[in-house]
Amino acid sequence: MAEPTPLLEVTNLSKSFALRGGFFDAPKGVVQAVDKVSLSIARGQTFGLVGESGCGKTTTARMIVRVVEPDGGEIAFWDDELGRLDLCRLSGRQMRPLRRKIQMIFQDPYASLDPRMTVLRIVGEPLRATGCTDQRATRQRVAEVLEMVGLRHEHMSRYPHAFSGGQRQRIGVARALATEPRLVVADEAVSALDVSVQAQILNLLRELQARLDLTYLFIAHDLGVVRYICDVVGVMYLGRLVEVADKASLFRSPRHPYTEALLAAAPRPEPGQPIVQLPAPGTVPASGCPFLPRCRYQKETCAREAPEPRQVAPGHTVSCHFDLSLRGV
């Protein structure tokens, strides 16, 4: 089978933030938020990015939508007309037409909608920002996308406060779809919702993907949600992608000890299950594998060298010196 065509290919993406504090906000150190992350998302697929808070998921997403400037690395995007483009090398002006193609859905449906704007202005905003000045065309497009997400034409003139959390998130989805994007980055888009509303939005996102041939980068910490919506999953730990695999292999046979621990700790809606805990974080070692202090399989090599990502099966890469599937555990 031929390799599916990628829509987005990220190579060695890195970003560090300076830590400041104390006297006159003096620099105190550097946090490597994202450390040489490489991933590829095929057209029409959903790539899930999981990990604990602070692991760099959101920073990665923000670099891809170009609101955070990367320190290094490449973000290749395949445009229908222009072909392969490195987003990091584009100027602000060159980037503008591409912003239509990459849109974002945010976590908090209460904080991400301006309470003083009508739904028409909220959903029409990305159109205006990317150069559409025709009022009638904007109105028509807003009506179209509202219908797509299960809202009605007459909701256009209302303000966000008139909507429930689930409906607000539908407005957020409509806003992301207004410019006919190819890639939608959803950052914890369903985490703040109740389960029944969450199921509605997840099903809506799936339906829209099939209908509009959308590609998703889906950031979440709930592994159940990831299992439901993603095709390929990347697990992040302290700024690095420690495992990338298609959903079936990742959930059936995780190869990285961190993935294994995350899966074991995920709560299952069944009584009588023990509460499984992730090992405590501990101090990150200066050298060697960053996961070492929490790893139950650690060996001598792990303290000496940091593992590089390596392929253990087609489409399955792991950053670990050892292969979990061969340990017989």
Partner 1 sequence: MPATDTILDIQALTVRFHTRQGLVSAVDGLDLALRRGRVLGLVGESGCGKTVMSHALLRIEAPGRIEGGRISFFGRDGAEVMLDALDPGGSTIRRIRWKEIAMVFQEPMTSFGPQHTIGAQIGEAMALHGIASGRALQPAVVASLQSVGMPRAEETARQYPHQLSGGMRQRAMIAMALSCHPTILIADEPTTALDVSTESQILELLRERQAALGMSILYISHNLGVVAQIAHEVAVMYLGRIVERAPVGALFASPKHPYTRALLRSIPRVDRDCALEALSGNIPEPFARPAGCSFHPRCPDRLVGICDQVAPALRRMDDGSEVCCHLYGECAHG
- If one asks whether residue 52 binds partner 1 (CB under 8 A), the answer comes out as yes
- Please pick, from the candidates 12, 94, 140, 203, the single residue that binds partner 1 as defined by CB under 8 A: 203
Among 263, 297, 306, 325, interactor with partner 1 by CB under 8 A: 263
Instruction: Tell me which residues in 270-289 interact with partner 1 (CB under 8 A).
Output: 270-273, 275-278
Fill in the DSSP letter of residue 152. Answer: -
Nearest CA among 154, 156, 200 for reference residue 178: 156
Return the percent helix, strand and coil in the chain, to nearest 5.
Answer: 35, 25, 40
CA-derived radius of gyration, the chain = 21
Question: Which residues sit opposite 316 in a β-bridge?
Answer: 313
Burial class (CB in 10 A: 0-12, 13-18, 19+), 22: exposed
Q: What is the DSSP string of 113-131?
A: S-TTS-HHHHHHHHHHHTT
Shorter beta-carbon distance to partner 1: residue 48 or 70: 48
Residue nearer to partner 1 on the CB measure, 159 or 251: 251
Closer to partner 1 at the Cβ: 279 or 309? 279
CB of 270 to partner 1, least distance (A): 6
Least spacing, CB of residue 206 vs partner 1, in Å = 9
Strand partners, 84: 78
In the window 213-252, what residues touch partner 1 (CB under 8 A)?
A: 221-225, 227-229, 251
State which residue, 137 or 276, has the beta carbon closest to partner 1.
276
Spatial separation of the C-alpha atoms in residues 252 and 242, rounded to whole Å? 17
Residues touching partner 1: how many (CB under 8 A)? Answer: 39
Q: What residue ranges bind partner 1 (CB under 8 A)?
A: 52-53, 164-167, 194-200, 202-203, 221-225, 227-229, 251, 262-263, 265-273, 275-278
